[in-house]
Chain A
Amino acid sequence: MSFPHLLPCTLYPKKRQMMNNINLIIGREYSTRVRKKSFILMTLLTPFLMVGLVFVPLWLSSIKDGNIRNIAVIDQTGVYAPLFESTDLYKFQTKEQMPLLGGDIFAILEISGDLSENPQAVSLTSERQAPQDLQSIIRRTLNEKVTQQRLDALADSKDVSTEAITQVRSILDSGSNISLRTLRQDGEGNVQESSTVLAAVIGMVFTILIYMFLLMYGAMVMQAVLEEKKSRIVEVMVSSVKPVKLLIGKIIGIGLVGITQLLLWGILVSVLFGVLSLFISMPAQPEIPMASPVEIGGFDIEGIMASVMNFNWLEIIVYFILFFIGGYILYASIFAMFASAVDSDEDTQQFMMPVMIIIMFALYAGIYSVSNPDGPLAFWASLIPFTSPIVMMVRIPFGIPLWEKLLSLVLLYGTFLLISVVAAKIYRVGILMYGKKPTLKEMVKWLRYK
């Protein structure tokens, strides 16, 4: 029947083996994107940015500019001035000690009366905003003295036994360094140390990641569909590939690009954090006796690491991947569906608005859920499929019942199956329609086309 002078006869059996073109489509969608300069740059630079956002403030706060700042102490009472000990950064000097008043003075600390009687009788005047650590040094020094003074006064009054006063003093000396440990009890009654702040931070990180990826990669799917339509290649494509396969290949291919980016970010960020925390922890650890660590802005890195390790990372990551996949396919289908129905970027706006609003709402619901992860907003938003991928990630680090997670996943996956069937039907018709922008009503009619 045919005269394959161009091709050897062996070509024909091979034709039949190659029925599955999805792999080819995935391959093209993936490789053209991963090789893009913008992708490579963004993937490599973002981790530096993220790590930088954490470490630069830390690092800056640990830098000493080397200048010793002179603080002039004007103490009418003469009681407090000798208590101030100069540090690496601040040199406290009384009027007498200062050779030349009006020299290089950073701030003036004026104490005008007995602070145990009048706590307001102290002021710090400086040209620039006085740094937090200076304020805390002064506050602590004066507080200690005033406490002593009041205790002395109490001891002198003879109404109280000296023993009691001694005890009070020793209690005060030992400090009241309470650190609140929050514990979490799982279903089997095991109690684990947890940190609410950390849970919130981890939840937010994953939530924002999912939000970003839904938007970025959803928009990428939309662009890809639109580009094929605009460049008029789509009919060439569907003459050898079923539209549904084209759509599936596209969504999977672009999704894999997203996962690649996530993986690379994960690896790069952990390597960078590892390297940098080594650097930071060595020189930045010298004792800063005058101020407590939190006020200096330094972190108790070991403590944090211990709490970080206490989270059930396996669980968090497994759920992250599940919600990521579900959310991505759900939104990618919707984006593809709308993109297939129009032929220009401007026309997408009308359809995109409602989708954007839902995603934005999900993000805000997520942010509010941080402070109340078990409230009704958090609960419902993490079950409704369109918001659940974003909101659920906030709640998971706080630990929530298994049934909620499973129900949320079942709803999400059920919805995306349904939506993607609808999207595929619309897509199949839409990609071959040029001209007038269809109304939603017309798109519903497309569902019934054979």
Chain B
Amino acid sequence: MELKTKNITKQYANHLALSNASIEVPQGTVFGLLGPNGAGKTTLIRIITRITAPDSGEVLINGRPSREEDTYNIGYLPEERGLYRKMKVGEQAMYLARLRGLSKADAHRELMKWFERFDIMSWYNRKVEELSKGMAQKVQFISTVIHNPDLLIFDEPFSGFDPVNAELIKNEMLRLKNEGKTIILSTHNMESVEELCDNIALINKSQVVLQGKVFDIRQQHRSDIYRFRLRGNDFAKDFEITHPTFFVLSQAPYHEFIDLRIKKQDDISNSELAKLFFDRYDVVGFEEELPTMNDIFIKTVS
């Protein structure tokens, strides 16, 4: 499912939650929705899932305005998520699956598959209140994807998971993407953004301030910083290249190596730059330091 929002504006009593927010989520990709707390991410998600209506603007699904029945083709895992504490896990999962439009038989069959896959069959008859947070999250995740929707929206999906289960969820998301599902991921975990997302939009103070492919954005934010790792612990003191094309930002010993960070000053090609080092030292590593999404996030927001 391809999703677009066009100039969405939403005003609450005393603050503007979204102002002309337009995003484009291509089909079969993972889209990162980033932004500080209170920027308007959740409002945008709620508008996409038709929980609230925008004051102006529209949501387009495969090029046409979204309709009520599209909600059956969306799986949404909200950040504020819970379960009915007094219900049994299986009963609860069945209920949510059926609310999402599955017949009793389909819901049961799908649940069995997912419970097998997540290895939680033994919880089926336990009460929700007996589950740990991570366990409850698994049940939540299942009930988000159970109806096989084409658009999946995950709001902070990794919170509450230990690294093993976070990896499990990550892999599930990638698998879903490979099946052609469109995924919107809203998170503050920038590492997972770099790892999973094809595109991102950064929302700050109710506006989309940055949008595009993760790769492109990082390229655009490059700051000509390069890293070298050189062999030889004896020249830590006598390292000396001075050249008008760069200056050294830092140098630090690392075991028997030395790590250098330099900033390119002038327009010289990478191979020319490298040559300066290769000629004189035993170079173990050379790479351009691209800004992390974390850096870009902080730089853009502040």
Task: Tell whether, in the assembled complex, residue B71 and residue A14 are in contact, meaning their CB atoms are under 8 Å apart.
Answer: no
A432 to B81 CA separation, bound complex (whole angstroms): 11
Scoring B residues 132 to 160 as 1 if CB is less than 8 Å from chain A, else 0, what string do you get?
A: 00000000100100011010000000000
Q: Point out the residue from B81, B86, B147 that lies within 8 Å of A232, measured CB to CB.
A: B81
Closest residue to A444 on the B side, CB-wise? B13
Please tell me if the beta carbons of B106 and A235 are within 8 angstroms of each other in the complex: no
In angstroms, how far is the closest chain B Cβ from the Cβ of A383?
36
Q: Check if B82 sits within 8 Å of A232, measured CB to CB.
A: yes
- Identify which of B72-80, B220-228, B292-300 touches chain A: B72-80
**Which residues on A sit within 8 Å (CB–CB) of B96?**
236, 240
The answer on a CB contact under 8 Å between B106 and A7 is yes
List of B residues within 8 angstroms of A18 by Cβ: 72, 98, 101-103
A3 to B148 CA separation, bound complex (whole angstroms) = 9
Do B180 and A2 have beta carbons less than 8 Å apart? yes
Whole-angstrom distance from the CB of A434 to the nearest CB of chain B? Answer: 7
Q: Are B110 and A232 touching (Cβ within 8 A)?
A: no
Residue contact B69 to A239, C-beta cutoff 8 Å:
no
B53's closest neighbor in chain A, by CB?
A450
Q: Which residues on the B side are within 8 Å of A24 (C-beta)?
A: 95, 98-99
Interface size of B by Cβ–Cβ distance < 8 Å? 47
Residues in B neighbouring A4, C-beta threshold 8 A:
148
A contact residues around B147 at 8 Å (CB): 11, 15
Q: Mark A2-26, 1 if CB is under 8 A from B, else 0.
A: 1111110001001110110100110
By DSSP majority rule, is chain B's interface helix, strand, loop, or mixed?
A: loop
Residue A237 lies at the interface, judged by CB distance under 8 Å to chain B: yes
Selected contact of B84 from candidates A21, A233, A445, CB within 8 Å: A233
- Contact yes or no, A240 B72, CB < 8 A: yes
Proximity string of chain A (220-237) to chain B, C-beta cutoff 8 Å, 1 when within and 0 when not: 000000011001110111
Point out the residue from B12, B55, B99, B110 that lies within 8 Å of A21, measured CB to CB.
B99
* Nearest-Cβ distance from residue B109 to partner chain A, whole angstroms: 9
- Assembled-state Cα–Cα distance A14/B84 (Å): 26
Q: A91 near B: Cβ within 8 Å?
A: no
Give Cα A21–Cα B72 distance, bound, in whole angstroms: 11
* CB neighbours of A5 from chain B (8 A): 179
Q: How far is the CB of B79 from chain A (nearest CB, A)?
A: 8
Contact of B81 among A15, A32, A227, A236 (CB under 8 A): A236
Asked if B102 contacts A14 (CB within 8 A), the reply is yes
B1 engages A1 (CB within 8 Å): yes
Total contacts A to B, CB within 8 angstroms?
A: 110
Contact residue range for chain A? 35 or more
Which residues of A sit under 8 angstroms from B85, Cβ to Cβ? 227, 231
Does A403 count as interface, using CB distance less than 8 angstroms? no
Taking a contact as CB atoms under 8 Å apart, the answer to whether B106 and A14 are in contact is: yes
Q: Check if A28 is an interface residue, CB within 8 A of chain B.
A: yes
Contact A32 B148 (CB under 8 A): no
Stretch among B44-52, B162-170, B206-214, B242-250 lining the A interface: B44-52
**Within residues 55 to 103 of chain B, which ones have a CB less than 8 A from any CB in chain A?**
55, 62, 69, 71-74, 76-78, 80-87, 95-96, 98-103
Is there contact, CB below 8 Å, between A32 and B87?
Answer: yes
Contact A14 B13 (CB under 8 A): no
A1 touches B51 (CB 8 A): no
Assess whether B113 is interfacial by the CB under 8 Å rule. Answer: yes
B94 to chain A, nearest CB (A): 10
- The reply on A352 being an interface residue by CB < 8 A is no
Given known pairs A11-B102, A450-B52, the reply for A6 and B143 (CB within 8 Å) is no
Contacts of A25 in B (CB 8 A): 99
* Bound form: Cα–Cα A434–B80 in Å: 10
Chain A hits for B27, CB < 8 A? 1
Set of chain A residues within 8 Å of B110, measured between Cβ atoms: 6-7
Residues in B whose Cβ lies below 8 Å from that of A279:
none
- Nearest residue, chain A, Cβ from B10: A450
Please determine whether A240 and B82 come into contact, CB atoms closer than 8 angstroms: no
Which residues in B have their C-beta under 8 angstroms from that of A450? 52-55
- CB-CB nearest in chain A for B179: A3
The answer to whether the Cβ of B181 comes within 8 Å of any Cβ in the partner chain is yes
Q: Say which residue of B13, B82, B84, B101 sits within 8 Å of A442 (CB atoms).
A: B13
Complex contact B181–A2 (CB within 8 A): yes
Nearest-CB distance from A65 to chain B (Å)? 50
B1 touches A240 (CB 8 A): no
CB distance from B110 to the nearest CB of A (A): 7
A411 at the interface (CB under 8 A from B): no
Q: Is the CB of A6 within 8 A of B84?
A: no
In the bound complex, what is the Cα–Cα distance between A160 and B69 (angstroms)?
A: 101
For the complex, give the distance between the alpha carbons of A239 and B46 in Å: 8
Known: A1-B180, A6-B113, A6-B148. Contact between A239 and B78, CB under 8 A?
A: yes
Among A14, A232, A238, A449, contact of B12 (Cβ-Cβ < 8 Å)? A449
User: Chain B residues with Cβ under 8 A from A1's Cβ?
Assistant: 1, 27, 62, 150, 180
Contacts of B76 in A (CB 8 A): 236, 239
Judge whether A241 is part of the interface by a CB distance below 8 angstroms. yes
Bound Cα distance A240, B98 (Å): 10
Question: Contact at B103–A237, with CB atoms within 8 Å?
Answer: no
Does A235 contact B180, Cβ atoms closer than 8 Å? no
The chain B residue with its CB closest to the CB of A27 is B95
Contact of A11 among B49, B55, B98, B148 (CB under 8 A): B148
Report A-chain residues with C-beta under 8 Å of the C-beta of B140.
Answer: 236
* Docked CA distance A21–B96 (Å): 11
Chain B residues with Cβ below 8 Å from A236 are: 76-78, 81-83, 96, 140, 143
Which of chain A's residues have a CB closer than 8 A to the CB of B46? 432
Nearest B residue to A442, CB-CB: B13
A240 and B71 contact, Cβ closer than 8 Å, known pairs A6-B148, A235-B81: yes
Q: Which residue on chain A has the smallest CB distance to residue B153?
A: A239
A93 to B52, CA, bound (A): 90
Chain B proximity mask over A171-204: 1 for CB below 8 Å, otherwise 0: 0000000000000000000000000000000000
Bound complex: CA A450 to CA B51 (Å) = 10
A7-B106, A14-B103 known; A232+B179 contact, CB < 8 A: no
Q: How far is the CA of A4 from the CA of B149 in the complex (A)?
A: 9
List residues of A whose CB falls within 8 A of some B CB: 1-7, 11, 14-16, 18-19, 21, 24-25, 28, 32, 227-228, 231-233, 235-241, 243, 432, 434, 442, 445-446, 449-450
Closest 6 A/B residue pairs (Cβ): A232-B82, A231-B82, A235-B78, A239-B76, A15-B101, A450-B53
Sample 27 A-B pairs with CB under 8 A, ordered by A number.
A2-B148, A2-B150, A2-B179, A2-B181, A6-B110, A7-B106, A11-B147, A11-B148, A15-B72, A15-B73, A18-B102, A19-B69, A24-B95, A28-B95, A32-B86, A227-B84, A231-B83, A235-B78, A236-B77, A239-B71, A239-B74, A239-B76, A239-B78, A240-B101, A432-B46, A445-B13, A446-B13
